[in-house]
Amino acid sequence: MGKIIFILGGVKSGKTNYATSQAIRHGGPVTYLATGSAGDKEMKRKIEEHKKMRPKNWETIEEPLDLISRIRKITSKIIVIDCINFWVSNLLASGMSKEKILKKTSVFCSLLLKKKIHTFIISNEVGMSLVPVNKTGRGFQELLGKVNQVIADYADKVYLMVTGIPLKVK
């Protein structure tokens, strides 16, 4: 069986640094599956920062929507998926229903376990955030919270990052 290590936290809480360091500790080839898209200058800068954080010998795959198909093709035994909140946002923007996104999340997690790979999944924790002022923001926050719960249920370990410190939740 594969292993899922789920790493949650707020913005700039150290999620990616922690996932990267843990993947390095496991040794062997690593595939970094990035879900964000450079839609503006700020996002482009953030993507460049993240590229500098990971070793040059890691394979990087940029996939904003179809994680399932991409994962089926990955041959490395270690994957870092960064991050679920962009994936969920991209799926919503593509017109996918919340129900279908939740179902896709279960399929995605099942596939990771069947492939016998070690996966570090990164997502933003939204349960401690401010409640967004508009319906779209509140809908996204609620959906991401549910997606995170699905992943946490499948995960072998769950860590909450607080100021760069991992707190083991599960």
Question: Where in the chain are the domains?
Answer: 3-168
Q: SS3 for the chain, per residue?
A: CCEEEEEEECCCCCHHHHHHHHHHHHCCCEEEEECCCCCCHHHHHHHHHHHHHCCCCCEEEECCCCHHHHHHHCCCCEEEEECHHHHHHHHHHCCCCHHHHHHHHHHHHHHHHHCCCEEEEEEECCCCCCCCCCHHHHHHHHHHHHHHHHHHHHCCEEEEEECCEEEECC
One CATH from 3.40.309.10, 3.20.20.70, 3.40.50.300, 3.40.640.10 for 3-168: 3.40.50.300
pLDDT digits 0-9 by tens, 65-81 = 999 999 999 999 999 99
pTM for this predicted structure: 0.93
pLDDT digits 0-9 by tens, 69-121 = 999 999 999 999 999 999 999 999 999 999 999 999 999 999 999 998 999 99
pLDDT(160) > 90: yes
